[in-house]
A and B are shown apart, each in its own frame.
Chain A
């Protein structure tokens, strides 16, 4: 008996091991707990940051209600929510294609922005001079091509020389931003650099302005799910992502797959850009994408690069965003508050993945397990 106690002390306090499997129920329970904890911490942060809440602590209930109200209280908000989620979803779908290949494309922001620019450029020069439907088609292709171009540049260098794609695509985001400022200076000679809403190039209304966008996103999600899991291209993406040597071994050209996939990735971001340009904004600013290219990375990662799961994760992040936006309005705080709230909740979700992937054994785990076994005898 004394011997066993001794061995207990010698074990390290905490011991980690990688889990081989975990039931989906358990995994989602862990994630749900993380979200709840994150929201509780948000409440604490709110006390620190929102003066109105410090004066009336009883309004904390209202604080949480506002999360839901932000997206669902009126049908206008609901549609806005659906539209924003859809655009975010399309961007993250574009990124997922690359991520599946272990190509860390964090240039979604730039790819989307440059395609908004492409579409608006067509609109700016041709709007009103050609029939609206031709204009819309041209804008569509301009957007897709610009996005694909932005995707193919880092892909070529990665394929040929192994240039680090994370850093490359990151830089491309800012090249895109200043490209937009450049064109704004050219298009708006007055110096205000604000283009204003253009008259032409607006997607037709289907029931309302948003439905078409939502349907496009849903269709694309399903299409990509099929593409990634049931087609030869999708299979090749997986093989290249898992092991370049295996790809060579079976005669898959790594370069070809990288370039082809990044064209697709860029073009899907291009579609998102088109939805922004023709679907809602009809203008371009350096902030047209508003960081959704980065949020898209989180959506894709949280959804484990599974298009169907990403509907959920995009929806969740958008609820937080819009809810927190509503809070900053109702409680009179800076409009940067959503970033704080989303950040906190995401920290918890990111952290929770650890408990899904690893198992933690505390000191004495084995001796206790042994004791249990003996008791069972």
Chain B
């Protein structure tokens, strides 16, 4: 059968301010095929597709449908040309039912009747093999159900060209399999499907052809059957890369953070962490692998005191042995009490009690650095909020997933963001910006942050630079435990390596690093041990030097429910 052209893009260019998002891109899509658009984060894949879907308007270039030039100014125009896009962030009205969302925005002469729409939605679902209750409200739905609504919404409008933006990012493996089945069925139905992704295995599995974008430019389009993952990687990143992260042997690993039997229910009452136990050692990187949403975020947040846990223990071993006592986080009363318990010794290993000494004398002795801790300090972190943890003197750093929504304040400048962690320092009610400013300058210099200056609001920086500011700040805090959730997400290769190196340097200096990642290759090369999470449980902890991708993949996906389904 002769292949029929459905959509052509000719010389499409789009700028955002000074950033060139798409640079004269040409692309063809045929009827009855699945085209994968492959590229690194930030290479302009989504921007390009948004121009077909009418979200953005191209600065230059033409779009042709069935050989005829068309103008797509709005999503409505896109629908007229039978183009439908399923965005990564679902565009659904939470308060409406599935059917109401599906019918939204359509115009038809017939009388509006929800009953009829419900029936039609059920019919489409059946035709392509979806499972969906048309009367369910969106806010009650799982991510996969929401995606189904999005796809049906597009099909209901009679779309012939479907664009899916990273559709698998949020799905479980079974859901991915089901989605791919549906996509193949639609292809057989004669529809053109464009799937945006950066996952090579999925490209190989589902697509007919692959278009590769790099830094806003179209590199090549190849037939999937004539290529392999290595070739695609090369085209995607521009040079052959091998992940060579320098990994040193952990020096003298000692337990730093011990979590035992942790259970957590979220605000909706869902049991999100089930009986989690693990140990993070100082001088070691512990990787956490798992499909997004398996409880990684909740785990890190409960350790850092952001989520009150149901049961379990979180114990921190503050490395204090043979280190001088200070008044930094302790009052003189607390120091005296600890001395009573025999927690201190002096330079000659004699016990220290402050019996009969004036506060002044005690203060002098301590400040001279002659009073030392006898053992590591064992601290319970459970049921403490972030402020209390800080006040205990626990240096716990956390690089959250949501950088500008949680880790940093977008509208504040770099200096003010530096202060976030320690603006409370000092007794006076006034802020001291001198030190944070120096720190900001240091980070900009050391991590090569591209910014006009320390007074630039961080939201104006690019993703990689934002992350450097955040990681830089968390490291500047001289952590004993450093937790990082997806720290390289959305970063280019260079910035990613900067981050890997930073983590490694922390590890070498004895910090217990916990790294939550999605790329298994990176996890295997960066970490010392890998803990796998699946559905809120720990399904395995293994040595990263001997484990294989397949083993981890299996632990990530194998669930009891799945067994039931397979049976």
Contacts and interface: CB of A to CB of B under 8 A. Distances in A.
B243 interface: no
B431 interface: yes
B251 interface: no
Contacts of B71: 10
A249 B398 contact: yes
A248 B420 CA distance: 11
Contacts of A232: 423-424, 429-431
Interface string A217-251: 00000000000001111110011001101101111
Given A12-B73, A242-B412, A249-B400, A235 B406 contact: no
Interface stretch (B261-269, B382-390, B530-538, B549-557): B382-390
Contacts of B60: 7, 366
A231 B431 contact: yes
Contacts of B420: 239, 246, 250
Contacts of A20: 17, 460
Max chain B C-beta neighbours (<10 A), residue from A10, A235, A251: A251
A11 interface: yes
Contacts of B402: 245
A225 B554 CA distance: 59
Nearest to B387: A251
A250 B57 contact: no
A248 B408 contact: no
Given A242-B411, A246-B407, A235 B419 contact: yes
A306 B469 CA distance: 28
A15 B387 CA distance: 47
Interface in B403-453: 405-412, 416, 419-421, 423-424, 429-431
Chain A binding site: helix, strand, loop or mixed by DSSP? helix
Nearest to A248: B306
Contact of B407 (A15, A242, A249): A249
A15 B386 contact: no
Interface in A144-168: none
Interface in B101-116: none
Nearest to A19: B17
B390 A251 contact: yes
B62 to A, nearest CB: 8
Contacts of B405: 243, 245-246
Contacts of A233: 429
A176 B412 CA distance: 37
A143 B243 CA distance: 68
A11 B398 CA distance: 46
A239 B409 contact: yes
Interface in A232-272: 232-235, 238-239, 242-243, 245-246, 248-253
Contacts of B412: 238-239, 242
A239 B419 CA distance: 11
A172 to B, nearest CB: 28
Contacts of B410: 242-243
A243 B409 contact: yes
Contact of B57 (A11, A235, A252): A11
5 A-B pairs with the lowest CB-CB distances in the bound complex, closest first: A251-B387, A251-B386, A245-B406, A242-B409, A250-B420
Given A232-B431, A249-B398, A249-B406, 15 more contacts: A12-B73, A238-B412, A239-B409, A242-B411, A243-B406, A245-B406, A246-B408, A248-B386, A249-B386, A250-B387, A250-B420, A251-B305, A251-B386, A251-B390, A366-B59
23 contacts: A12-B57, A15-B57, A20-B460, A231-B429, A231-B430, A231-B431, A232-B423, A232-B429, A232-B431, A234-B431, A235-B423, A238-B412, A238-B416, A239-B409, A242-B412, A243-B410, A245-B402, A246-B405, A249-B304, A250-B420, A251-B385, A251-B389, A251-B390
